[in-house]
Amino acid sequence: MESRAILHADMNSYYASVEMMQNPWLKGKAVAVCGSTEERHGIVLAKSELAKKAGVKTGMVNWEARQRCPDLIVVPPHYDEYLKYSKLFHEICYRHTDLVEPFGMDEVWMDITHSMYPYSSPLEVAEVIRKATKEELGLTVSIGVSFNKIFAKLGSDMKKPDAVTVISEEIFKELVWPLAASEMIYVGRATDAKLAKYGIHTIGQLAQTDPMFLKSLFGVNGIALWHFANGTDTSRVMHKEFVSPVKSIGHGITCVADLETEEEVYHVMLQLCQDIGHRLRVHDMLAQGVRVYVRGNDLGFLQYQTRFSMGTRSPKELADKARELFDARYPWTTPVRAVTVSAIYLCPLSTPQQIDLFTDVARAERRDKLDSVVDALRGRFGKRCIGPASTFCDLKMPDDGRDLVRMPGLMYQ
């Protein structure tokens, strides 16, 4: 079987790099892109290499970042610019292959196995992309070159900034196995802590663990981790036009101020569900369940979910069920900082529904027609032209475009 040539390209300190590229005065300084200090303590969204060396970390609140780095220059985010340069970077990648799979805004995988011509090696292609990114966009990128997606991503993390790292089949054990297990994609803090309890600290130790034992700890994900560590993962790099099958539809936001009451949380949920209901209509889907993520200042993320007796795409029904879950489960030991609502257990609109004794079907149909009209008006005149009255109060939701930024999802098999 022919060995694949997979690249993973990761833009260096992306948000901060875009800010420094557009404002040359910031170059050579410790820079952090942060949420507004005035709106809520503000957190670090991205930092330059100098800020990183001074101890500034992503997710750190502004005042703590300034303590670590007194010379820190804080700038606000400009998401429209980040999206623009992300698209321009993708265009550079498309010159070499159509198999370009984004992983967030500043990372992509590329499969150049059959598209290296006129270049002689994957390393040469990677260098061409690295130089073009620097010369045309004024940004730097680190690229990992390997025979699968997992090790390509590891390679892009090994040398930063502005570098290319090759992890070949012949030397991957020497380069990869000594690394901490947490260096590998999908080994988060909880997974790493669980592995550590059993003396599994490195990728090599993970690779040499009985896969059935890993399955007993993590289910099918344990088998996937074993393949990742052993270099036997065969996940494809998807075509640039690939659209993932819709399995859930969610919308979430970190608010600009703490939500102090159940009513405030519900108003945010109702606003989020306007978008979810619209996307359910676009895909001709019904939700048979709802999931709620909330983050309290001192609690981390909490997750609750439940099913509906019948499928729905009504924003109000989704929000009401989300509120019911939240009101019954959230401990209120701390205010709420972030809220996400997701429509889950999706099914096509044409799926026959089992009617129960307690649902007023005629009323539900009238509500759906009204929601369709509201959705059409929002599409024509803008999202704020019409909606529930409570969503026109101070929702403590940001309006700077950060909700347009899509976070990385899972790889496709």
Q: How confident is the model at residue 11 (pLDDT cuts 50, 70, 90)?
A: very high
Higher-scoring residue by pLDDT: 292, 407: 292
User: Residue 315: what pLDDT?
Assistant: 94
When mean pLDDT is compared over 142-151, 217-226, 293-302, 308-317, the highest value belongs to: 142-151
Q: Which residues contact 174 (CB under 8 A, 6 or more apart)?
A: none
Does residue 406 register a pLDDT over 70?
no
Which residue has better confidence, 165 or 297? 165
Using alpha carbons, select from 300, 341, 344, 296 the residue that is nearest to residue 323: 341
What mean pLDDT comes out for the span 106-115? Answer: 96
Q: What is the CATH architecture of 249-404?
A: 2-Layer Sandwich (3.30)
Residue 44 is predicted with a pLDDT of: 85
Q: Give the closest residue to 370 by CA, choosing from 283, 309, 263, 281.
A: 281
- Parallel, antiparallel, or unpaired for β 31-34 and 285-296? unpaired
Out of 2-16, 30-44, 123-137, 182-196, which region has the weakest mean confidence (pLDDT)? 30-44
Bridge-based pairing state of the strands 249-259 and 300-312: unpaired
Higher pLDDT, 374 or 298: 374
pLDDT for res 337? 83
Asked whether residue 244 carries a pLDDT value surpassing 80, the answer given is no
Stretch among 257-261, 270-274, 287-291, 354-358 having the lowest mean pLDDT: 354-358
| Range picked from 23-37, 310-324, 354-368 for highest mean pLDDT | 310-324
Structure confidence at residue 282 (pLDDT): 87
Cα(187)–Cα(222) distance, integer angstroms: 10
How high is the pLDDT of residue 148?
A: 97
Q: What is the mean pLDDT of the chain?
A: 88
Amino acid 268 reads V
Q: What are the angstrom distances between the C-alpha of 262 and each of 16, 271, 302, 324, 397?
A: 36, 14, 15, 10, 15
pLDDT reading at 215 higher than 60: yes
182: left (phi over 0), alpha (psi -120 to 50) or beta: alpha
Residue 403 has pLDDT above 60, yes or no: no
Following DSSP, what letter does each residue of 212-231 receive, concatenated? HHHHHHHTHHHHHHHHHHHT
Considering 276-285, 348-357, 380-389, the range whose residues carry the highest mean pLDDT is: 276-285
- Residue type, position 177, single letter: W
Q: Is position 241 annotated as part of the catalytic site?
A: no
Domain with CATH 3.40.1170.60 in the chain: 15-79
Q: What is d(CA 243, CA 240) in angstroms, rounded to the nearest whole number? A: 9
Decide: 308 and 317 in contact? Cβ < 8 Å: yes
pLDDT digits (tens, 9 = 90+) for 282-315: 889 999 999 998 988 666 678 899 999 888 999 9
Weakest-pLDDT range from 85-94, 95-104, 169-178, 372-381: 372-381
Evaluate if residue 39 carries a pLDDT over 50: no
Residue 134 has pLDDT above 80, yes or no: yes
**pLDDT of amino acid 101:** 94
pLDDT of residue 411: 54
Render the burial of 221-254: b for 16+ CB within 10 Å, e for the rest: ebebbbbbbbbebebbbbebeeeeeeeebbbbbb
C-alpha–C-alpha distance, residues 139 and 130, integer Å = 9
Q: What's the average model confidence in pLDDT over 27-52?
A: 80
Quick one: pLDDT at residue 401?
55
| Higher-pLDDT residue of 359, 79 | 79
pLDDT digits (tens, 9 = 90+) for 166-196: 999 999 999 999 999 999 998 988 889 999 9
> Considering 107, 169, 183, 263, which one is annotated as catalytic?
107
- What average pLDDT does range 154-160 have in this prediction? 95
Q: What would the CATH number be for the domain defined by 15-79?
A: 3.40.1170.60
CATH 3.30.1490.100 in the chain: give the residue spans: 249-404
CA 255, 258, 261, 264 torsion: positive or negative? Answer: negative
Q: 179-242: which CATH architecture?
A: Orthogonal Bundle (1.10)
* Percent over 90 (pLDDT), the chain: 61
Distance CA 275, CA 319 (A): 11
Q: Read off the pTM.
A: 0.73
